[in-house]
């Protein structure tokens, strides 16, 4: 499991997005990237978080950031989720958990006494050189994007 720290090189990835096109960190070199992991499309917290990233999208884009959402959902589920909320950024389909494992976001979770392994809501900010500048783990869906904007000085 990845024990990433601010200042580390971000793990590279090549993964399909909601348009079934491969997105790779190498191709994004020279751009700042916000890579946010969320548990599941069309669930309450994930929908709230996605809508907040969508509301902040123009501000982030003008500041030079590429926003990428990541979950274990399929491309088809991502297409529906993106359309439902008119999301302006790519959603990456990490069905094999490759990206989740590279960034160490798979955690044991308990819900109603049932234990399962799932994505811990997390965000990684990567600079133009591929270095991690901010890491947020276990974030609260409602508060996260506002805090992120504040931390980025936006």
Catalytic residue among 4, 46, 79, 148: 46
Tokens (6 digits) for 131: 């270095």
- Name beta bridge partners: 132: 126
82: three-class secondary structure by DSSP: helix
Q: What is the DSSP letter of 26?
A: G
Task: Report the C-alpha gap between 11 and 129 in whole angstroms.
Answer: 12
Q: Is 100 designated active site?
A: no
The burial class, CB within 10 Å (0-12 / 13-18 / 19+), for 104 is: middle
Active site residues: 46
């Amino acid at each position: 499991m990845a024990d990433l720290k601010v200042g580390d090189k971000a793990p590279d990835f090549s993964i399909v997005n909601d348009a079934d096109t491969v997105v790779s960190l190498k191709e994004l070199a020279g751009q700042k990237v916000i890579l946010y992991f969320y548990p599941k499309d069309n669930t309450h917290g994930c929908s709230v978080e996605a809508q907040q990233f969508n509301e902040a999208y123009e501000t982030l884009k003008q500041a030079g950031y590429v926003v990428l959402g990541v979950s274990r959902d399929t491309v088809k589920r991502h297409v529906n989720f993106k359309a439902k909320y008119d999301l302006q950024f790519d959603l990456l389909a990490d069905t094999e958990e490759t990206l989740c494992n590279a960034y160490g976001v798979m955690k044991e979770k308990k819900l109603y006494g049932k234990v399962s392994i799932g994505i811990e809501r997390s965000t990684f900010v990567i600079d133009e050189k591929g270095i991690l500048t901010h890491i947020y783990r276990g974030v609260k869906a409602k508060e996260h994007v506002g805090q992120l904007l504040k931390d980025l000085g936006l």
